[in-house]
Amino acid sequence: MRALILCLFSFAVSYAGDLTPVIEKRIDTLLAKLTIEEKVALFSGQSTMDMKGCERLGIPPLRMFGTLYNCTSYPAPVAFSATWDTTLVCEAAAAMGEETKARGRDCLLMPCVNIHRLPIGGRNFESYGGEDPFLASRMAVAYIKGIQGAGVIPSIKHFALNNQEWSRNNIDVIVGERAMREIYLPAFEAAVKETDVWCVMSSYNLVNGLHTSANKHLLTDILKNEWGFHGFVVSDWGGVHEAVACVNAGQDVEMSGPLYYKQDSLLPPIQSGIIPQNIVDDAVRRVLRVRFVSGMMDRPKNAPRPTYDAEAHKLLARKAGEEGVVLLKNSNAALPIDLSKVKSIAVIGPNAAFCRSGGGGSAYVPTKNGIPPLDGIKNKTGAGVRVEYALGDSNSGPVSWRIAPAYFYTDTTLTTRGLKAEYFNNLELKGPPAATATDSTIDFDWGNGSPNPAVITDSFTVRWTGALAPDTTRKYKITGWADDGIRLFINDTMLLDGWRMQRPTDYLCDYTLQKGKRYRIRVEFCDIHGGATVRLHWDLPPKTSDRSLIAGAAQVAKNCDVAIVFVGTTEDLESEERDRDGLELPFRQDQLISAVAAANPRTIVVITGGTPVIISKWINQVAGLVQAFFLGQETGNILADILFGAANPSGKLPFSYIADYSQSPAFGHYRNPDMKAPYDEGIYVGYRYLEKNKLAPSFPFGFGLSYTKFSYSNLKINKVAGRSYRVSVDVQNTGSVAGDEIVQVYVTDAKSSIDRPLKELKGFARVGLAPGQKKTAVIGLDERSFAFYDTQKNAWTVEPGEFEILVGASSADIRCRKSIRVE
């Protein structure tokens, strides 16, 4: 309840409020007292998550929160997007703000609003809004209002066009101005203009030849000058590549740093005028302004940390998950499962007995209290129903990849398993090691620390040496994954070379190994700054036991009344720093589903993950399909409520569930060796592209079934003023159970001088209805609802004429339509 109050009645100070002159005057006073050295110090971090302050003048450090450790694990942002519930998003953001303050932090590095251009994008799961810029805008505004209302600084990210993880530091997005303005920037623009968002994070990638951290067109021309952004721009961690160009472009803060924003790098160009003093003072003003408006400057230094109602937040997480689950198929009312008519249930799959709470990377929230689906089902069914479990398939590590401990030995005599590890307190692998060990695998994540108390944090290296003895002759695919550097040598030949400071990056190679031969192996790793992670994986063939898992699962399914198969991805398979390996389900999950469905016609499939998957191999065999996304710590309870009818699924897809690779233009230039990503499709992303090219996805954007039915009638469109309109439509629950419907409003330009999509989402409303109840959904349209970005005028333009207003239950299910003339 407190989170909702914070969301609805924000106590945060607005830039436009009466206190603005007072704040600016206080900033003027501080600017006059700060030395140039102290000003420069405010431009970067003093640790991985803290920005520097100035103790002499009472300016506190700004403490950031990337991952909410020991906090409530909420559903992933893509699941929140599937709720289409802005009030809920606002409430949840306020709750996250409360937990951020309870951890003694000032800033939470969210929300991510990057568009789902690449359907296998590694961070799609953590992006609010899916593939549509209007939905992303509404989610962004709601989230920011909630968290800023709690007095916590958000950081909307990643500005801009960070739509893939593969080579994200080096990929150059080649995009036109219209596509950028209509598809990729609207969520950021809405955040600035409607919430005065306090912080924007620049992205890793390049846009039209320049890294975004050095892109003046994005950071200064558009963000600060055109939109009127008052807050500060922070880099993504390690996203700054030079000092002068970035400062002059409008990159206010380098994190974590400082690597480039140092005294010796910035003072000479400032003193010589290469970096103008007004740019320096503007950046300082911005970082101070946010400290003031967020309340940081006026908090007592040793004030006790606030508390929050953990039980209330858990219930909020459960509600959000239930609202976000999308029912995709329900043949012959297979769902909900009637427990009074079922004696046995087979619970099957790699995601059945594990709580896959979220995708990986900085958005992952570890949870010790996560409820797996198996536990949720057992808790719901009680003693009257027999629940049998079968794993069915493995689901650990990257797709088709495993760690290879059985191949590693300390020397060619093959007497000791594992590799000899030597840890050095330098970056040259020189001198006596600070520590040694025998490591059975190379699979380490030391966070921002070190592997051993004797090893320093940052600036350390590791060398693993030994023998490699394969048990099968074949060509192996090998991947090394590291933050920062990695090198792999076999028989002294370098196969992987990633010896540099970098965000976690994977390097791949092929190498033929012969059974019975012994190979010298050497792996080297360096941690230069920040996170320390290193892994070495091999594409080993499935174990015999893995193959037999499917047969065992099918037998379990055959002996039960109903079979529920939990498949999909994990935080390792879908994560920041790596895109998914493809649209297919990982490992042998397709074969598992087919085998179970052949054994039991009452098979329900539940998919975990933030992206679409190819379902054609088995969709006609199963009775039901549920898209569960990542549902946080309450996963098992949420899914049990949905499957057994305690909750009615009401989520709608925030992305098009494409049928195959041909339905997305993003794959055409994906992983280009020239590091160019031309967005040749322009504004035609997601359903815009599918409709233009007459392609039918497995399920359209905005689609989602319910356990009840809804009818639409009495569409009215009334002009409010100018080019603003009020759309109203009556929605009635014609079924026998309560449920929520998400009414969607699309706009079509009947005749335009330029090419425009067949329809574009411009409004929506979530309506809760009891059986038989009718309500009127009211949705507003403004001038921007009819506009396109005119690159000749460099402005949004509405061409007077006829527009059709389409109201429906998805982008492909239009129930009512009416034409209006906009002057």
Residue 544 CB contacts under 8 Å (≥ 6 apart), including other chains: none
Residue 75 has pLDDT above 60, yes or no: yes
Report the C-alpha gap between 147 and 91 in whole angstroms: 9
Provide the pLDDT for residue 43: 93
Q: Which of 106, 236, 439, 572 is catalytic?
A: 236
The mean pLDDT value for 596-623 works out to 98
Pairwise CA distance, residues 156 & 6, whole Å: 19
The answer to whether the CB of 628 falls within 8 A of the CB of 325 is yes
Least confident of 401-410, 421-430, 740-749, 765-774: 401-410
pLDDT in tens, 312-321: 999 999 999 9
Higher local confidence (pLDDT), 672 or 175:
175
pLDDT tens figures, 657-668: 999 999 999 999
- Is residue 471 within 8 A of residue 443, CB to CB? The reply is no
> For residue 40, what are the contacts with CB-CB under 8 A and spacing of at least 6?
261, 262, 263, 266, 267, 270, 280
Question: Which amino acid appears at position 612 of this protein?
Answer: P
Lowest mean pLDDT among 11-20, 376-385, 448-457, 505-514: 11-20
pLDDT at residue 503, rounded to an integer: 67
Report residue 342 as tokens. 């079922």
For residue 523, the model assigns a pLDDT of: 95
**Whole-angstrom Cα distance, residue 633 to residue 75?**
8
Catalytic residue list contains 393: no
Confidence (pLDDT) at 543 = 53
Overall CATH class of domain 710-822: mainly beta
Mean predicted confidence (pLDDT) in 736-751: 98
Q: What does the pLDDT look like over 639-655, one tens digit per residue?
A: 999 999 999 999 999 99
What confidence score (pLDDT) does residue 248 get? 98
pLDDT tens-digit profile of 166-217? 999 999 999 999 999 999 999 999 999 999 999 999 999 999 999 999 999 9
H-run or E-run covering 732 = strand 724-733
Mean pLDDT across the stretch 221-250? 97
Q: Is the dihedral of CA 683, 685, 687, 690 positive or negative?
A: positive
Please tell me the predicted confidence (pLDDT) of residue 9. 45
Per-residue pLDDT band for 544 (boundaries 50, 70, 90) equals very low
**Comparison of pLDDT for 60 and 69, the residue scoring more:** 60
Place 2 in a pLDDT band, splitting at 50, 70 and 90: low
- Per-residue pLDDT, averaged over 700-724, amounts to 98
Rounded to an integer, the average pLDDT of 659-679 is 95
Tell me what pLDDT residue 415 has. Answer: 84
Q: What is the structure's pLDDT at 397?
A: 41
Determine the angle formed by the axes of helices 635-643 and 310-324, rounding to 10 degrees: 50
Strand partners of residue 509: 478
CB 785 within 8 A of CB 747: yes
Q: Which residues contact 792 (CB under 8 A, 6 or more apart)?
A: none
CATH of 405-538, one of 2.60.120.380, 3.90.79.10, 2.40.30.10, 3.40.50.300: 2.60.120.380
Q: What is the pLDDT of residue 13?
A: 40
Distance, in Å, from the CA atom of 291 to the CA atom of 12, rounded to the nearest integer, reads: 12
Residue 3: pLDDT band with limits 50, 70, 90: low
Say yes or no to pLDDT of 12 above 60. Answer: no
E-state strands within 190-264: 199-202, 206-207, 210-211, 232-234
Query: In the prediction, which pLDDT does 621 show?
Result: 98
What one-character-per-residue DSSP string does 295-345 give?
A: TGGGS-TTPPPP---HHHHHHHHHHHHHHH-EEEEEGGG--S--TTS-SEE
What pTM does this model have? 0.87
pLDDT tens track for 139-168: 999 999 999 999 999 999 999 999 999 999
* Domain residue extents for the chain: 2-298, 325-398+543-646, 405-538, 710-822
Q: Hey, is 367 helix, strand or coil?
A: coil
- In 10 A of CB 116, how many CB atoms? 29
pLDDT exceeds 70 at position 489: yes
CA distance linking residue 682 with residue 661, whole number of Å: 18
Residues 809 and 745: their CA atoms lie apart, in Å, by 9
Task: State residue 174's pLDDT score.
Answer: 98
> 240: which residues sit within 8 A by CB, 6+ positions away?
213, 246, 251, 254, 257, 259, 260, 261
Element at 676 (helix H, strand E): strand 676-678
CA dihedral 437, 441, 445, 446 (to 10 degrees): 0
Is pLDDT above 90 for 408? no
Six-digit token pair at 123? 């961070």
Strands (E), 61-159: 62-65, 107-108, 153-154, 156-159
pLDDT number for residue 319: 98
Question: Model confidence at 591, in pLDDT bands (50, 70, 90)?
Answer: very high
Whether pLDDT at 322 is above 90: yes
DSSP tag of 582: -
Q: What is the per-residue pLDDT for 304? A: 87
CATH node for 2-298: 3.20.20.300
Q: What CA–CA distance (Å, rounded) separates 701 from 651?
A: 12
Distances (CA, A) of 601 to 218, 396, 589, 596, 640: 54, 28, 17, 8, 20
Q: Is residue 423 within 8 Å of residue 455, measured between CB atoms?
A: yes
Averaged pLDDT for residues 345-374:
92
Query: Which overall architecture, per CATH, does domain 325-398+543-646 show?
Result: 3-Layer(aba) Sandwich (3.40)
Residue 735 to residue 769: CA distance in whole angstroms:
10
Angle, CA 458 vertex, CA 453 and CA 464 arms, to 5°: 70
Query: What average pLDDT does the structure give for the chain?
Result: 92
> Does the structure show a pLDDT above 80 at 539?
no
